[in-house]
Amino acid sequence: MLLAAALDFVREARSCPEVLRIALVGSLSTGKPIPKDVDVLVTLAHHSDLTSLAQAARRLKGRAGAINLGADIFLCNGDGRYLGRVCGFRECHPRAACEGLQCGSGRRLKDDLHAVTLDLSLTLAPPIELWPVVKRRVVAPDDVERLLLAALEREATRGSGARPGAG
């Protein structure tokens, strides 16, 4: 169920205009027997408007939460600089629960760099890239291989894995 939600997220997020790459990081890219969440790294060309990506992220988080699991969508720029995470709130306004430095800006960026950061080596070379091409830097767990990577590779060979107009 979590991998199906991750697959749906990739399908939706790859059509967002600023998305350059989508990768799998964290426990799902390891042999951990019972992962508690899905961690996705999204590389962006720009991060001025994350509205559509934030909607996809909330759907992923909602589906994961429905089965008592979690989801985090980490963001970096094309140079691999970690930017923060996608804001989980539907409406953007300053909240006591939000740790983003620019909360209330409407950008949907939770730039809580004081609490979470990713190493440049991870953002530049994540364990498993999901889109625009599937690339493995580690041996993927069997379920990830079968339910996520194989589906994305099939779609890519059928031509449904590319953003319309990209090429």
| pLDDT tens per residue across span 4-15 | 999 999 999 999
Mean pLDDT of the 118-139 span: 96
pTM of the model: 0.84
In this predicted structure, what is the pLDDT of residue 44?
92
Give residue-wise pLDDT tens across range 36-89: 999 999 999 976 678 889 899 999 999 999 999 999 999 999 999 988 887 655
Q: What is the pLDDT of residue 51?
A: 84
pLDDT attached to residue 159: 79
Task: Indicate the domain borders of the chain.
Answer: 2-83+119-158
| Closest to 133 (Cα-Cα) out of 22, 12, 4 | 22
The correct answer on CATH 3.30.460 for the domain covering 2-83+119-158 is: yes
3-state secondary structure the chain: CHHHHHHHHHHHHCCCCCEEEEEEECHHHCCCCCCCEEEEEEEECCCCCCHHHHHHHHHHHHHHHHCCCEEEEEEEECCCCEEEEECCCCCCCCCCCCCCCCCCCCCCEECCCCCCCCCHHHHHCCCEEEECCCEECCCCCHHHHHHHHHHHHHHHHHCCCCCCCCC
The arithmetic mean of pLDDT across residues 117-145, rounded, is 95
> What is the reported pLDDT for 39?
96
**Which one is predicted more confidently, 161 or 98?**
161
How high is the pLDDT of residue 37? 96
pLDDT for 11-32, tens place per residue?
A: 999 999 889 999 999 999 999 9
Give the sign of the dihedral formed by CA 30, CA 115, CA 106, CA 120. negative
Mean pLDDT over the full length of the chain: 84
Residue 117 is predicted with a pLDDT of 73
Dist. CA 18–CA 122, nearest whole Å: 20
Q: For the chain, what percent of residues have pLDDT higher than 90?
A: 64
Tokens 């399908």 found at: 11
